[in-house]
Structure 1
């Protein structure tokens, strides 16, 4: 392995962002240390499982409908703009996520899988939600 390959492997392994790669069938093939920290699943348990392990149940059907469409067409509206979604940890606790994706294609242009780069934005989400609630309260009291 070259110095560049070693450096790239260390970057993936050591970043605090979760980096997850799933093959086109939605099975996790890469799960870095950031994903372990964020979701609580050790790599040895997450690799080989469906992406369902990080998705709340009510979001799975719409996710897979969109996933299948992207796998069939190669077109996604996501990628350059971060997407905000809910997620779940191994212990069942909820987490607010922001992520971007990169589709990886083979030499024939067929999608091999999708890499996602995820950040935990739970604190910012809760602060924003709290501010909205406070604003609503202030608007209601001003109307009285």
Structure 2
């Protein structure tokens, strides 16, 4: 469906060149699309990822919870993460931990069945590390303040 606002836009080029990682999986969870930004974030190339499951980037301790949510979303066509950011741990190809933030979208068949689940992903590791350092510093200052109060 083309209207005046989308005429002439090459959506495949848009998704391939956007700065956020775009990962598309089929309803069963196999990766069917992986853009260059996903490669930059996770280290896996499209050829590394295509046809494989998201277990490539999901830490083992998170997998069961992830797949429960994934299959529920595929079955119901409903997710709260279409508008709300989901922040979770992830893995880089080299094994280093990442923190990612993403939203979810779905593509449907003409019969309204979910055919694909799309994640639009951003590397959130720097922000997460900064917040963790700030929380640690607040705890240290609170402990020091308690110690001063007790000593007085």
- Corresponding position: 1:140 with 2:105: no
Over residues 32-57 of structure 1, what are the superposed CA-to-partner deviations in whole Å (9 max), with x where a residue is unaligned?
00001111111111100001101000
Q: How far does residue 69 in structure 1 lie from its aligned partner after superposition?
A: 1.6
Q: How far does residue 8 in structure 1 lie from its aligned partner after superposition?
A: 1.8
Rounded to whole Å, the distance in 2 between the matches of 1:113 and 1:13 is 17
Q: How far does residue 116 in structure 1 lie from its aligned partner after superposition?
A: 0.6
Q: Secondary structure at the residue paired with 1:107?
A: coil
Corresponding residue of 1:47? 50
Corresponding residue of 1:16? 19
Rounded to whole Å, the distance in 1 between the matches of 2:106 and 2:16 is 20
Q: Is the 8 A contact 2:74 2:117 kept in 1?
A: no
Q: What TM-score, normalized to structure 1? A: 0.93
Q: How far does residue 75 in structure 1 lie from its aligned partner after superposition?
A: 2.0
Corresponding residue of 2:88? 85
Q: Is the 8 A contact 2:25 2:116 kept in 1?
A: yes
Q: How far does residue 77 in structure 1 lie from its aligned partner after superposition?
A: 2.2
Corresponding residue of 2:118? 115
Q: Secondary structure at the residue paired with 2:82?
A: coil
Of the two, which has the highest radius of gyration? 2
Q: What TM-score, normalized to structure 2? A: 0.89
| Greater mean deviation of Cα atoms: 17-26 or 7-16 | 7-16
Q: Where in structure 2 are there 5+ consecutive unaligned residues?
A: 1-6, 148-152
Query: Of 12, 15, 28, which aligns to 2:31?
Result: 28
Corresponding residue of 1:62? 65
Q: Where in structure 1 are there 5+ consecutive unaligned residues?
A: none
Structure 1 residue runs of 4 or more that deviate by more than 3 Å after TM superposition: none
Count of residue correspondences: 141
